[in-house]
Amino acid sequence: MAGAYSTIANDGKYIEPTFYTKIDRQNNDTLMKVQQKTRTVFSKEVAYILKQLLTQPVLGENGTATYCKISGVDVAAKTGTTDENYDRWLCGFTPYYTAVTWYGFDENESIEFNQRNPAGLIWANVMSRIHTGLNTARFQKPSAITECKICAKTGKKARTGCTDTYTEYFLWFTEPEPCDIHTGSEVKEKTNTQSTVTEIIKGITNEIDEKEPEKIDNNNTNNDNTNTTNNFIENITNNTVNNLNTQNNDTNNNTNPNNVKDTNNSINNNNLNSNNTQDNNISDSNNNINTDIDIN
């Protein structure tokens, strides 16, 4: 789960989790060093929309993880509960770290903890401490994202006559039609003025055409000792955002963005972590509490 959620934090790049980084001999010679496999499973545009969706449990008026806020740092989180309250989860990330906490019992028992989520409380306490002293960090919005005001009643692009609105993010050319029950002019979208359509499409195309990294065959390591979360990640990809559809846009600058490729296939080599560190897992199984932390 930590590997899956860190994929969103890492702009769509999945980094295979590992339980160790290296093993040194007594004389400091390195006996074994892990080589983490990476692959891109969806685009940074799709990842950004997922980040925005996952900030709502933290920032939303009726959010289930409002206690996970960290001052000066963007937080995305999702709570989870199984039938009969047998399992409690908190999965979330910041631009610095991804952490997943599970709370439960080997033999199922309903978890009642003062009407609070114990997994979430553990997550919030750990993450707030490890972010102490870190610089302000925000989720960076890619250029090929449209930010729209949406009418809460119709789910369509808001007009000036819409009284209940909220902000939503879309891949280019996938935003809904204007509201059809309220009057007024269409609320203008926020657009990126620093990049032209042609520049952005060229950048996406270059990422798609980039060669995949060579696979590393490390004979010094044992066989994979963890199950990857491929199915979970593929489900995220298949169920999040519709493919970026190409269509002519001649209302503003008569630019015809032809041959726009599906951004779900784009290769993103950017890592949100300014220190370019890889995901590491920390496991604590005391008292049936399991917390995994990935460094994005």
- 2-139+270-295 placed in CATH 3.40.50.300: no
SS3 assignment, position 288 = helix
Enumerate the domain spans of the chain: 2-139+270-295
* pLDDT of res. 279: 40
Locus of tokens 């290296």: 22
User: What's the CA gap between 174 and 161, in Å, rounded?
Assistant: 23
* Position 123 pLDDT exceeds 90: yes
| Predicted pLDDT at 197 | 58
How far apart are alpha carbons 128 and 134 in whole angstroms? 11
Taking the C-alpha atoms of residue 278 and residue 275, their distance in angstroms, rounded to an integer, is 9
Q: What is the mean pLDDT of residues 266-285?
A: 36
pLDDT band for position 99 (cuts 50, 70, 90) = very high
- Cα distance between residue 160 and residue 184, in whole Å: 5
Residue in the structure block whose two tokens are 């969103």: 8
Q: How far apart are CA 94 and CA 75, in angstroms?
A: 5
Span 18-53, pLDDT tens digits: 999 999 999 999 999 999 999 999 999 999 999 999
- Which residues on adjacent β-strands are paired with residue 294? 98
What CA–CA distance (Å, rounded) separates 96 from 133?
Answer: 12
Count other Cβ atoms within 10 Å, centred on residue 6.
Answer: 29
pLDDT tens profile 129-186? 999 999 999 999 998 999 999 999 999 999 999 999 999 999 988 999 999 999 999 8
pLDDT, residue 222, reads 43
The answer on pLDDT for 204 being more than 90 is: no
Categorize the per-residue pLDDT at 61 as very low, low, confident or very high, splitting at 50, 70 and 90: confident
CA angle 194, 200, 202 (to 5 degrees): 140
pLDDT in tens, 221-235: 444 433 444 454 455
Q: Kind of pairing, strands 289-295 and 165-171?
A: unpaired
